[in-house]
């Protein structure tokens, strides 16, 4: 249940694991803090407003900062700026966002990243891709091209969403927030408040649910989303989206092809001005969330864990919490899900990743510029 802590069972003895050479360098001279008997937390590096991370095959780490820097954390723990990133529209919730590798990165060196751009009507998220040239100093993104844009651009600097995930089917999935405009989540003439599904070059798969409608509508995989900040596939190949709700009512949804999740017509939360929103159970034609959080946790990111460092957690989902300043573990069973543990953290958690060493890696994102930290969670040392 929420708030419980995992205790070591009788006879528990962590086995030694071999870490990537880069990871061994990372933890040199870093402070380590024990978190009860569940894990130890090691500070690795500091950043300004970090947002997302992606491990390279050699164990090095790409990290985005919202102001517009893509950083490559080298083996000695030094972050170097990767050149070739386009200018971003930084402000509010906008800036440089997610970063993921193409499934065939070893062959094509393609990196996908999202950011906010300004344009006619205001701003909107985009997803671009480029080739990461690691043989240059500094590393460089070349052949950068935008393959997707939020439409339409609108005023304001909130609810971009713009998380990215490649599915086991090889397609590219993007979460697109409704930009704090409510109704666009139900408007099929735009892609705000949607999950979109694309080929890796940004074109539309022919079997998308609305492909025959053409235009931006053809991109849509699901609709009725608010501010989807987590996007991940479980071990069964099912897609889950994690959404920040209105006043409370944060949601974890199992995403189904062509399904409507109801926002802003229904929500288990209410508007910030106190205006009530009908709950999901009043409109059964809309898909209801698998989990709703009241009070809110302010979710930021979603990961399904499969590493060896914490074998008892394989298959669990981990959620980064912002206002809750917590790492939250959720278990899933088919279409069902439930929170089972919550670990308080010293700062807001912006992103969660599994490293090549099987450790859990967290990006902390405090309100001050110097609160951003990369930390690594490992099993506690054997007494």
Q: What is the DSSP letter of 210?
A: T
Residue 242 C-beta-side C-alpha neighbours within 13 Å: 31
The Cα–Cα gap between 279 and 67 comes to: 37
Give strand pairing partners of 341: 329
Token pair listed for 364: 């902390």
The Cα–Cα gap between 344 and 39 comes to: 12
Report CA-CA distances (Å) from 214 to 129, 201, 204, 206. Answer: 23, 17, 9, 10
The closest of 193, 182, 184 to 275, measured between CA atoms, is 182
Non-local CB neighbours of 203 within 8 Å, separated by 6+ positions: none
- Identify the active-site residue in 102, 159, 162, 225: 159
Active site annotation includes 35 = no
Q: Which H or E run contains 61? A: strand 61-65
H helices of 62-189, in order, are 105-108
Give strand pairing partners of 360: 354, 377
Token pair listed for 129: 């891709």
Q: What are phi and psi of 300, to 5 degrees?
A: -120, -25
The Cα–Cα gap between 145 and 185 comes to: 27
- Strand 79-81: give its sheet, edge to edge: 50-55, 61-65, 70-73, 79-81
Token pair listed for 328: 């939250």
Q: Give the distance, in angstroms, between the CA of residue 25 and the centroid of all CA atoms in the same chain.
A: 26
Report the catalytic residues: 159
């Amino acid at each position: 249940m929420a708030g419980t802590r995992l205790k070591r069972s009788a006879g528990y003895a962590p086995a030694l694991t071999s870490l990537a050479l880069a990871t061994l360098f990372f933890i040199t001279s870093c402070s380590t803090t024990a978190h009860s008997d569940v894990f130890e937390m090691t500070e690795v590096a500091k950043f300004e407003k970090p947002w997302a991370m992606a491990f390279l095959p050699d164990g090095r780490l790409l990290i985005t900062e919202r102001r517009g820097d893509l950083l490559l954390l080298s083996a000695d723990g030094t972050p170097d700026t990767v050149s070739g990133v386009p200018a971003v529209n930084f402000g509010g919730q906008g800036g440089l966002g997610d970063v993921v590798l193409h499934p065939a990165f070893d062959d094509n060196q393609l990196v996908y990243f999202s950011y906010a751009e300004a344009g006619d009507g205001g701003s909107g998220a985009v997803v671009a891709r480029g080739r990461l040239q690691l043989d240059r100093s500094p590393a460089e993104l070349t052949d950068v091209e935008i393959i997707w844009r939020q439409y339409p651009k609108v005023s304001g600097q909130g609810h971009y969403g713009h998380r990215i995930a490649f599915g086991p089917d090889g397609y590219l999935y993007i979460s697109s927030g409704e930009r704090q405009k409510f109704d666009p989540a139900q408007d099929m003439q735009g892609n705000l408040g949607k999950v979109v599904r694309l080929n890796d070059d940004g074109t539309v798969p022919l079997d998308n649910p609305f492909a025959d409608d053409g235009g931006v509508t053809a991109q849509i995989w699901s609709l009725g989303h608010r501010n989807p900040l987590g996007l991940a596939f479980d071990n069964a190949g099912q897609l889950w989206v994690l959404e920040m709700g209105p006043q409370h009512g944060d949601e974890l949804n199992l995403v189904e092809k062509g399904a409507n999740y109801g926002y802003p017509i229904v929500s288990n939360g209410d508007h910030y001005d106190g205006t009530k929103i009908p709950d999901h159970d009043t409109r059964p034609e809309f898909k209801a969330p698998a989990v709703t959080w009241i009070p809110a946790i302010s979710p930021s990111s979603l990961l399904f864990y499969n590493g060896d460092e914490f074998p008892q957690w394989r298959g669990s989902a981990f959620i980064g919490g912002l206002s809750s300043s917590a790492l939250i573990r959720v278990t899933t069973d088919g279409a069902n899900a439930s929170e089972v543990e919550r670990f308080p953290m010293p700062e807001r958690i912006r992103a969660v990743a599994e490293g090549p060493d099987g450790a859990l890696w967290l990006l902390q994102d405090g309100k001050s510029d110097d609160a951003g930290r990369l930390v690594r969670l490992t099993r506690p040392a054997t007494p």
